[in-house]
A = this chain, B = another copy of it.
């Protein structure tokens, strides 16, 4: 079963497109967890236990594990292993390099940590993407249009704007290649979907970053969307309740 099929099956199972983002910043753990790698792991276990019947997928943000050194990477692995086999996983790592280096990053993501998919920074072009596409049943999401103010610096550069050229690159490998488009630029979802209609689109930026679910679910791309909420769920008062509420608004 390839990644798109795995996502579609899971979407049917849970009836929503919610990705729970394990952006587990040790500095923001609730008081009852220790402020170290072990605390991050225990917190992740609690979040996964609380949301595993709701989440369409889990995304793990590499940065918050890397900042804890080798022990953080152990937690990355141990947490990934807590996620049940039928739930799609996304390694949010924004890797972007070429040739043997890109191959080594793909090995890390897909072989060592066994993630189903990864996010990629596309700056260096198709050479930075192709090593990730050589894996059967794995998937790469290219950063396309982000939700931060300085997205205008480069992502909109040129005519057509750079982000649409990134969508064209994804469309060339659409069975294995999706896109990341921020929720705060939700009108671009239609546009990107038109360029690469088979690509899954990972949408961060809901909640803490200001994106609204009602804008996103109106998109013509809605069947292809995976909508991530990280801090807005995991650091909320009641993560299970919050995840259920988001899931309700993301029945797409």
Contact = CB atoms under 8 A, between A and B. Distances in A.
Interface of A: 23, 25, 61, 63-64, 66-71, 73-74, 77, 94-102, 104-105, 107-108, 111-113, 121-128, 143, 146, 148-155, 157-159, 162, 165-166, 169, 209
B152 A162 contact: no
Copies of this protein in the complex: 2
A112 B69 contact: yes
A112 B157 contact: no
A145 to B, nearest CB: 10
A23 B105 CA distance: 12
B99 A148 contact: yes
Nearest to A128: B150
Nearest to A111: B67
Nearest to A144: B123
B112 A124 contact: no
Question: What 8 pairs between A and B have smallest CB-CB spacing?
Answer: A158-B158, A125-B150, A125-B153, A63-B104, A66-B108, A127-B150, A70-B73, A67-B107
A151 B97 CA distance: 11
Nearest to A119: B97
Given A69-B73, A74-B70, A108-B66, A124 B95 contact: no
A127 B159 CA distance: 23
